[in-house]
Structure 1
Amino acid sequence: MQHCQNIRLSGAHVLRAETLVFEDVALEQGLITDDLPKPGNSTIDLSGYLVLPGIIDLHSTAFERQVPPRPDSGFPIASALWSVGQEAAAQGITTAWLGQSWSWEGGKHGPDFAETFLDALADYRQTAVTDLRVQLRCDIHCVESQERLLEVVRRYGIDYIIFHNQIPQRLDLLGRDRTEFEQWGLQAGYDPEAYVALVRATARLTPYAPRFICSMATAFDAARIRYGSSGDRDAPTRAYYDMIGARICEFPTAYAPARVARIQGNPIVAGAHDVLRARSQIGGSAAIDLVRNGLCDALVSGAVFAALSKAAFSLGDAGIVQFGAAWHMISGAPARIMGMSDRGEIAAGKRADLVFFNQGTRRIEGTMVAGRWSYLRGGLADRFAMTSQATLSAAE
């Protein structure tokens, strides 16, 4: 969509420093500015609207509904990514990391598909408005693809990696629920016996995982990559990952690893959808309880982009945290975690990454990335159209 011209937004409630205030916001050359109005600049009346920092999503799998599981499906991944970007924009998301696996399972979770996906994303990013990136989810048993992984990280400029370990869960299912175990295999493209063999062979690589993790951590540190671990089950696991530099604690399954993360100053990430459901998707501590006990820094969308804004409003409405603090968990906090000092808050000099809510309906009517519309609809579109027409008439 087109750039929004240098304008002043007036009459809205604006979230600054986690507080809703009634004041103007000036935009110039894609940035937020505190400058006084200049001749020729337009003022837009946004009474009845909330103007909030654009949402930053550290982990989404919503794209899996759009992206075909095989590159030869006949539907280009690049086309699917445009749909993903549009869906994210419609939910107020300005920056998002798509969680692509690098796993021993192969198929859509394997290295081959990951490279194909990264190629398509690189093409998308050349002309896209919504800032889509990749969170590479590296299974710790991929010890035989170490050099390939590092080359891919360098080639595509990957800036966020999460270690995870699927083997304990798969082995548990193998002994406890063979039907569910086989479903996982079928989804990955294996018949039951082949999947049993694959899981058992991969489990035998467990003794090599610690050296692999440490080697990866050293390389990630050298490249200044943010990285962490997912699904920490206990305090020693979180302490181990903290020790090697994997600071980000994503989806801890109990209070103990979350408490260790808090003590060590590690960012804690929980699922927004789990907050709305008041429980954990992976059977551990309820995400909403982590928030209530000060053990959550950022919320992520997971499978549903819309969960982020809904969770922020829900937390504020319930009085669990103030609304400004809740919104910070999906804007300023993720920006800080990823070292993105140019976005995440409405302040002079920051990028004009903004989301506009109709205050009465709480529906998103506009999303802006660096001063460019990625989404615009409804009454908000009408107000900007009227201002543009008035500007043209005055120029005549």
Structure 2
Amino acid sequence: MTGTILANATLVLPDEVVHGALALSGDRIVSIDRGGTRVAGAADCDGDLVLPGLIELHTDNLERHIKPRPWVDWPHAAAMIAHDAELASVGITTVFDAMRVGSVPSEQGNYPAYARQLASEMLHLRSVGALRISHYLHLRAEICSQTLVSEMAEFGPEDRVRIVSLMDHTPGQRQFSDIAKFRRYVQGKYAMTDAQFDAHVARLIGLRETHGELHERVAIDEARRYGAVLASHDDTMVDHVETSAAHGVALAEFPTTAQAASACRRLGIAVMLGAPNLIRGGSHSGNIAAQTLAESDLLDIVSSDYVPSALLSAALLLGDLWGDAARAIRTVTQAPADTVGLGDRGRLAVGARADVIRVRRVAGAGVVRGVWVSGRRIA
């Protein structure tokens, strides 16, 4: 058999962990053998974990590469290639790059439109084979903005938009119920004076009152036009979740309370929390701790959010917490894949896409020792 055989491995299958060998041929997994450790021509994994490639639904990491410092706009192609390589190095083989749509042109230049240009550049790099892993788009639809309608109209089904999230950052509710925390975040990020911050808050509240209902309707309709999954963001109250369900939301990003997460479970909406929240032991915004939801069986999917390496670390931590490695790995592989309709990946199964990673645990941490995308080793 031509291709790659990973033998003497600890295989994390969808529902169990077994010792055995995994064979890749072309872009598919072609066999899974249990128990055998000696296979001619195989790579000896020395007991390392072999997992499906990690799937990241929500990451701000691309923005960090494009703007490594406030007011610095790094060359986009170089930033995208570096972002792609970083994700590959930590075992992420499919990513949904988050891009904001909806700007406030007069707001000190802090919120300019950028998504269409950036998406076109990303799609071009993909078309010429410059990227190692699989990239899709996650459009973050800012309800408190002036240009959401025109920006979303620039995208279509051909743009690989698979998630649209409804982002309502009106101060005083959801993620920023505590205005003091919102002040610290915004002034720290954009170096606003107190007067500028107060004007910014007033502007956002005014935009929500003027455009909010229209923007919600447009975002929902455009998600359908793209063929994208609809996500909510920072649901806090049961009413928020019930509204999300009425909109057809399938994914709740970072619900801020246990009540909201419980309502999501009742209404069939997948709950996603951030890996940094889990690893740090709590939310930096003072919202519900991911571990609390995990212990209450209310956590379905984990996102790296703003630290790509956190995705693998969080899954391993959950495995220890639950005493079930297969269940934990599903939160960063199969569960996100299924939620966004990518049924060809996210599991070690014969016929599945050969996105695979090899991981060794060292002092509790995961060290990525090999990454294959569509059967080709890329890291």
Q: TM-score, normalised by structure 1?
A: 0.83
Instruction: Report the CA distance shift for 1:93/1:260 in structure 2 as closer, same or farther (over 3 A).
Output: same
Instruction: For 2:45 and 2:91, locate their aligned partners in 1 and report how far apart those are by CA, in whole Å.
Output: 17
Partner of 1:85: 84
Instruction: Report the CA distance shift for 1:22/1:108 in structure 2 as closer, same or farther (over 3 A).
Output: farther
Give the one of 292, 295, 299 matched to 1:292: 295
CA contact (8 A) 1:71 1:116 kept: no
Instruction: Report the CA distance shift for 1:204/1:108 in structure 2 as closer, same or farther (over 3 A).
Output: closer
Q: How does 1:1-396 map to 2 (within 5 A)?
A: 6-34=3-31, 42-68=41-67, 75-105=74-104, 110=111, 112-126=113-127, 127=129, 128-142=131-145, 144-154=147-157, 156-169=159-172, 177=180, 181=183, 184=186, 187-188=189-190, 193-207=195-209, 208-318=211-321, 320-359=322-361, 362-375=366-379
Instruction: For 1:109 and 1:125, locate their aligned partners in 2 and report how far apart those are by CA, in whole Å.
Output: 28
Amino acid at match of 1:235: V
Deviations, residues 80-132 of structure 1 (Å, cap 9, x unaligned): 11111111111111011222222435589745222232122112222112113
Greater percentage in helix: 1
Instruction: Report the CA distance shift for 1:70/1:111 in structure 2 as closer, same or farther (over 3 A).
Output: farther
Q: Post-superposition shift, 1:197? A: 3.3
Instruction: For 1:175 and 1:50, locate their aligned partners in 2 and report how far apart those are by CA, in whole Å.
Output: 42
Aligned to 2:231, what secondary structure does the other structure show?
A: strand
Aligned to 2:377, what secondary structure does the other structure show?
A: strand
Q: Post-superposition shift, 1:344? A: 0.2
Instruction: Report the CA distance shift for 1:219/1:116 in structure 2 as closer, same or farther (over 3 A).
Output: closer
Q: Which runs of 5+ in 2 are unaligned?
A: 34-39
Instruction: Report the CA distance shift for 1:69/1:146 in structure 2 as closer, same or farther (over 3 A).
Output: farther
Instruction: Report the CA distance shift for 1:108/1:136 in structure 2 as closer, same or farther (over 3 A).
Output: farther
Instruction: Report the CA distance shift for 1:21/1:109 in structure 2 as closer, same or farther (over 3 A).
Output: farther
CA contact (8 A) 2:141 2:219 kept: no
Amino acid at match of 1:366: G
Deviations, residues 8-61 of structure 1 (Å, cap 9, x unaligned): 22211111123111122111112101299xxxx832222332111110011111
Q: Post-superposition shift, 1:276? A: 1.1
Amino acid at match of 1:120: E
Instruction: For 1:172 and 1:262, locate their aligned partners in 2 and report how far apart those are by CA, in whole Å.
Output: 20
Stretch of structure 1 that moved more, 328-337 or 202-211: 202-211
Amino acid at match of 2:15: E
Aligned to 1:152, what secondary structure does the other structure show?
A: coil
Instruction: For 2:49 and 2:226, locate their aligned partners in 1 and report how far apart those are by CA, in whole Å.
Output: 39
Instruction: For 2:166 and 2:281, locate their aligned partners in 1 and report how far apart those are by CA, in whole Å.
Output: 26
Instruction: For 1:175 and 1:43, locate their aligned partners in 2 and report how far apart those are by CA, in whole Å.
Output: 56
CA contact (8 A) 1:357 1:363 kept: yes
CA contact (8 A) 2:116 2:154 kept: no
Structure (1 or 2) with the larger CA radius of gyration? 1
Instruction: Report the CA distance shift for 1:371/1:235 in structure 2 as closer, same or farther (over 3 A).
Output: same
CA contact (8 A) 2:66 2:73 kept: no
Deviations, residues 203-240 of structure 1 (Å, cap 9, x unaligned): 22323312321232133224321111111110001110
CA contact (8 A) 2:171 2:179 kept: no
Q: TM-score, normalised by structure 2?
A: 0.86
Deviations, residues 291-334 of structure 1 (Å, cap 9, x unaligned): 1111111000011111111111112223x351111111000101
Q: Post-superposition shift, 1:166? A: 1.4
Give the length in aligned residue pairs: 366
Q: Percent identity?
A: 24
Q: Post-superposition shift, 1:175? A: 9.6
Aligned to 1:27, what secondary structure does the other structure show?
A: strand
